[in-house]
Amino acid sequence: MDYLIQNVTVVNEGRTFEAHVLIKDGIIDKILPIDEPVEVAHVTVVEARGQYLIPGIIDEHVHFREPGMTAKADIHSESRAAVAGGVTSYMEMPNTIPQTTTQSLLQEKCDLAAEKSLANYSFYLGATNDNLDEVMATDPARVCGIKLFMGSSTGNMLVDRDEVLRHLFQEAPCLIAAHCEDEEIIKQNTQHYKELVGHHSVLPTASLHPLVRTSEACYRSSAKAVELADKTGARLHVMHISTQRELSLFRKDIPLQDKKITAETCPHYLMFEEADYDRLGFAIKCNPAIKSSRDRQALREALRNGLIDTIGSDHAPHLPQEKFTDDYFTARSGFPSVQHTLPVMMQVAEETGLCLAELVQLMCHNPALLYQIDRRGFVREGYHADLVLVDLNARQTIAPDNLFYKCGWTPYVGQTVQAKVTHTFVNGNLVYENGEFHEEHRGERLLFDRG
Question: Percent of the chain scored above 70 by pLDDT?
Answer: 98
Burial of 330 (0-12, 13-18, 19+ CB in 10 A): exposed
Q: Are 431 and 424 in contact (CB under 8 A)?
A: yes
Tell me what the pLDDT averaged over the chain comes to.
Answer: 95
Quote the CA–CA distance of 335 and 63 in Å, as a whole number. 10
Residue type, 326: D
pLDDT of 255 higher than 80: yes
pLDDT tens for 65-85 read 999 999 999 999 999 999 999
Closest by CA position to 438, among listed 450, 421, 420, 426: 426
Residue type, 51: Q
The mean pLDDT value for 239-262 works out to 96
Q: Are 183 and 159 in contact (CB under 8 A)?
A: no
Closest by CA position to 93, among listed 167, 137, 155, 160: 155
pLDDT of 126 higher than 90: yes
Non-local (6+) Cβ contacts of 53 within 8 A are: 5, 8, 9, 10, 11, 19, 21, 379, 387, 388, 389, 390
Domains defined for the chain, CATH in brackets: 3-53+383-437 (2.30.40.10), 56-371 (3.20.20.140)
Q: Are 137 and 158 in contact (CB under 8 A)?
A: no
Band of the pLDDT at 26, cuts 50, 70, 90? very high
pLDDT tens for 279-315 read 999 999 999 999 999 999 999 999 999 999 999 999 9
pLDDT of 451 higher than 80: no
Q: Are 361 and 349 in contact (CB under 8 A)?
A: no
pLDDT of 57 higher than 90: yes
Residue type, 116: K
pLDDT of 206 higher than 80: yes
Q: What share of the chain is helix, strand, coil (3-state, %, to 5)?
A: 35, 25, 45
Largest CA-CA distance found in the chain, in angstroms, rounded: 77
The mean pLDDT value for 198-211 works out to 81
pLDDT tens for 348-375 read 999 999 999 999 999 999 999 999 999 9
**Pairing mode, if any, of strands 87-92 and 57-62?**
parallel
Tally the residues of the chain.
Answer: 451
Q: Does the predicted TM-score (pTM) go above 0.95?
A: yes
Quote the CA–CA distance of 319 and 396 in Å, as a whole number. 25
Give, as one character, the DSSP assignment of residue 151.
Answer: S
pLDDT tens for 137-160 read 999 999 999 999 987 666 778 898
Q: What are phi and psi of 212, to 5 degrees?
A: -90, -55
**Pairing mode, if any, of strands 310-311 and 261-265?**
parallel
Helix and strand numbers (H, E) in the chain are 14, 20
pLDDT tens for 335-344 read 999 999 999 9
The whole-number pLDDT of residue 73 equals 98
Angle at 105 between CA 102 and CA 110, to 5 degrees: 125
Beta strands of 25-97 (E only): which ranges? Answer: 27-33, 44-47, 52-55, 57-62, 87-92
The whole-number pLDDT of residue 240 equals 98
Non-local (6+) Cβ contacts of 117 within 8 A are: 75, 76, 79, 442, 443
